[in-house]
Amino acid sequence: MSPYTIHAKFITIKPNIKLKNKLNLILFISFFLAASLTIWVYYQTTNRTGKIEFNKDIDDPEFVVCDEDRILQYYSVKTSYPGGKREIKKQFSKLISNLTFKDSGLITFRFVVNCNGDVGRFRVKMVNFQLKKNHFEDQKIKQIQKEIQKLKKWNPGKWRSESFDSYYVLNFKIENSKITDIF
Amino acid sequence: MKKFFKIFKIILTIVFTCYSIVIIYFIALSPKDKRFKFAEHYQGIYLSQTMFDILIWQYPTYSDAYFEKSVIFNKTGAYEKGSLLLDKAVEIDPKAHLGYRGWLVLRKLRSYDNALQDFDRLDSLTPTVADAPWGEGIDFLRGECYFGKKNYQKAIEMFNRNIQNQKEDWVDIQSFVYLGLCEYELGNFEKAISEFRRALNQYEHTPESYFGIARAYQKLGEIEKAKEYILKAEENISFKRDDVYNEYLNEIYLSEVLEFKQSLSE
């Protein structure tokens, strides 16, 4: 074997190794990108804004939903309380006359009505009338939540006679230190 | 065999790359109207909100993207987040979004003064147009605001203006119902009855009118007539005005109709 032949082998083999490595690298990058995008799209399409997940620190463990992956919105499945908002206001009449607040604004409760008509997983948001974040006394919030929990046997959301878990929203309007409206 | 693997790897690389390009194109590079429609259709899922974020980033003055992104927040009671986005949409294009914001503030938050501010401002920006925020006459909505504020005289003025603008035969019959309710609240019971009847002339299945007439007759001491109309209210309750999203200000319930019927028998 002459020195020229060896030299020629180097010339021919080296680019092949380079090309093979490059191809593997490009394949890996394209696979990684495609896999990452797939995972990201899956996450983006299976999660919804406003999802309330169980939080062991604040939620009642005895309250269970029927299908964790399928909690719908009240307006999609017509979740309601028997007798409607009028009945809710009636149930709250004692609290409305007794409870006083230092500030004005809206207290919004969002919670789950499960497929059996029970309620749980309460979350609360508070804003003033300019819709900027506001805060009302924790104790008052707890009192309202307890009163909502007393509302039993909701009409769960239904679609084609099948019952579903759903989210419900209840607003309490606070004006002149009193609850003036519930809607 | 080596050649086969090499070709296989190249094909896989092309497939993976094309797959990624299609996803990226669809989410971030396709025509903005197409992306907007997709995100609007799939309202609420994270991907929809992300696509609005991308649209806002690419087109900072795309007011519809701010508006549409706000919708799910307002529907789920996250009013602070929703209003930040909606305020931005109004700031960019007040003519396009003031009406919706007023409508939302009235119907979802019952914040009558804020809703009136938006309706009045919209009206001043479009003096030659009869505005119809979210498909409802602006004067009808203003009337509801004044009704909510218990300013019944002003509410009557607005509902009458709405009827004049939209004409008696075409106007939403709830304008007549509200007129009846306002007159009732002002103690004008006979006038209230005549206003409720205007709604019935347009559509005989208006339980709000039957209920209103029954209450007015009761106030006038005509109990037999009150009984007659409360029965009609009960019969027609399935035609009542309701909405899956919100309770209307003048919404009636079977329970109160039955309670009133009971009170007439005592």
A103-148 pLDDT, tens digit each? 999 999 999 999 999 999 999 999 999 999 999 999 999 999 999 9
- DSSP per-residue letters across B209-233: HHHHHHHHHHHTT-HHHHHHHHHHH
Write out chain A residues lying below 8 Å of B23, CB-based: 37, 41
Q: What is the mean pLDDT of residues B242-247?
A: 92
List the single residue in B with minimal CA-CA distance to A21. Answer: B6
pTM score, whole prediction = 0.88
Neighbours of B134 (CB within 10 A): 12
pLDDT tens digits, one per residue of B163-201: 999 998 889 999 999 999 999 999 999 999 999 999 999
- Select from B12, B82, B113 the Cβ nearest to the Cβ of A27: B12
Identify the contact set of chain A against chain B, taking CB-CB distances under 8 A.
20, 23-24, 26-27, 30-31, 33-34, 37, 41, 43-50, 73-75, 78, 83-87, 106, 108-110, 125, 127, 129-133, 167, 169, 171, 173, 181, 183
As a whole number of angstroms, the longest Cα–Cα distance in chain A is 106
DSSP state at residue B30: S
* CA atoms of A105 and B97, how far apart (whole Å): 23
* CA atoms of B154 and B101, how far apart (whole Å): 22
pLDDT tens digits, one per residue of B88-126: 999 999 999 999 999 999 999 999 999 999 999 999 999
* CA atoms of B136 and B243, how far apart (whole Å): 14
pLDDT tens digits, one per residue of B131-163: 999 999 999 999 999 999 999 999 999 999 999
* CA atoms of B167 and B162, how far apart (whole Å): 8
Write out chain A residues lying below 8 Å of B10, CB-based: 23
- Select from B45, B109, B244 the Cβ nearest to the Cβ of A75: B244
- Select from B20, B73, B251 the Cβ nearest to the Cβ of A30: B20
* CA atoms of A127 and A114, how far apart (whole Å): 27
The H or E element containing residue A181 is strand A178-182
Write out chain A residues lying below 8 Å of B77, CB-based: 50, 108-110, 125, 169, 171
CB contact, 8 Å: B247 with chain A? yes
Test A48 with B47 for CB contact under 8 angstroms.
Answer: no
> Nearest CA to CA, how far is B40 from chain A (Å)?
14
Test A84 with B251 for CB contact under 8 angstroms.
Answer: yes
Residue A133, token pair as written in the block: 């974040």
Contact criterion met (CB below 8 Å) for A108 and A123: no
